Structure 1
Amino acid sequence: MRAMSEPATPEAEPPPAPGAEEYLALDFANSAIALPGGRFVDLLGTPAATNEWLTERGLAPADAGVQEMCTSQLRALREHLRALFAARVAGMPPLPAALAAVNDALGKAPTAALLHWDDRNGPYRAVPCPTSQILDRALATLAANAADLLTGPDADRLTACGSAPCTRYLLRHGRRHWCSTRCGDRARAARAYARRTRAEAGAGL
């Protein structure tokens, strides 16, 4: 049965997972949120929501006018990043398509600041950013941040939340494998229920 999507609300949306404030790519990968009861929140679910997400993170102006095509491209990159994170956590080879998608996004980044000349202030250098390049810049920034995470010293701390049905990723601190207090409480409750069930089954023998 397909999970039911719902609007993002403070009640539905959990706090950022550990590491998400350090790595924008981790925050991006976690923008699809699975909740108990088959509920699902997608912070990139609509063009307007995507524009808001990008604006809050300095990746697009508020009036960027993000369209569905742009939203689809961002959601596709998100799934590729999640596939790479899953491969890193599991110690498995990455999917070639995921690796190719991230490298393609990295290739969209401008390579040099161009020389400009202002009649009043003289020469200066700046990277061009016409409206048509906003999406490319966002994709390149997110892909580069993911590459930094996967190749940097924090890669060994990358793990998946250990509380079903949550599918978020986090940077592990100590032995913690939960992305939020809510998930930790749910995991502890599930373990306590399992222990109680086993004890009752043993007593019934």
Structure 2
Amino acid sequence: MTVEAVLPPAPGAEDHLALDFVNSAIALPGGQFLDLLGTPEATNRWLTERNLAPADAGVQEMCAAQLRSLRENVRALFAARVAGMPALPTALSAVNDALSKAPTAALLQWDDKNGPYRAFTCPTNEILDRALATLAANAADLLTGADAERLTACDSRPCSRYLLRHGRRHWCSTRCGDRARAARAYARRTQSRAD
């Protein structure tokens, strides 16, 4: 099952990779759960689709587990931001550790045919570190940037996705909005029958 078959990207995910990252674990109605980083193969596919790793990176379970751990720590920071609560020190530490994993400057390279250029060198053993650093940097940018005030959790249960609020919209998708409106209508009907 693909996420596109379940839900479209949450508002803001196209501009903030960190939203897409935290929303890679999806709670669905009926107690179902979809984890786009649930297996090494799924993790490799997710990273490849976002240009964070080559298709042949060969992600192992240890790497997938590190990404899932960072995801939960970023989710904890998003939850703290949305609730106006202090951040968990362990979540902050995990994101800062990921930020320091890879160099941030493109190095000067030289091609005999085309001359100088700048590029990130990324040996195979550093692919995960670079992906972790990129995701952590994007999360830090979102939490400290202009869009931070718009960050919110989807208002439709059991959905656990985050989005950037636009106007009064508090749902990550039309499907979640319809489900929330239907639940409110049902609650009103039930309440009026009880009265």
| TM tier relative to shorter chain | over 0.9
Name the amino acid aligned to 2:155. Answer: G
Aligned match of 1:87: 80
Question: SS at 2:146's partner residue?
Answer: coil
Distance 1:115 1:174, change over 3 A: closer
Once the two structures are aligned, what percentage of the paired residues are identical? 80
Aligned match of 2:159: 166
Aligned match of 1:194: 187
Once the two structures are TM-superposed, the CA of residue 121 in structure 1 deviates from its matched residue by: 4.5
Per-residue CA shift, 1:164-191, capped at 9, x if unaligned? 0000000001111010111111101100
Per-residue CA shift, 1:16-48, capped at 9, x if unaligned? 010011100000000000001100000111111
CA distance in 1, matches of 2:116, 2:7: 47
| Residue-pair matches, total | 195
Matches within 5 A, 1:29-178: 29-178=22-171
Which structure has the highest helix share of the two? Answer: 2
1:181 is aligned to 2:177: no
Distance 1:119 1:181, change over 3 A: closer
Aligned match of 1:8: 2
Alignment TM-score, normalising by the size of structure 2: 0.95
CA distance in 1, matches of 2:127, 2:144: 26
Alignment TM-score, normalising by the size of structure 1: 0.90
Does the 8 Å CA contact 1:77/1:102 hold for their aligned counterparts?
yes
Mean Cα deviation higher: 168-177 or 122-131: 122-131
The structure with the largest alpha-carbon Rg is 1
Structure 1 unaligned blocks of 5 or more = 1-6
Distance 1:119 1:184, change over 3 A: closer
Q: CA RMSD in A?
A: 1.4
Structure 2 unaligned blocks of 5 or more = none
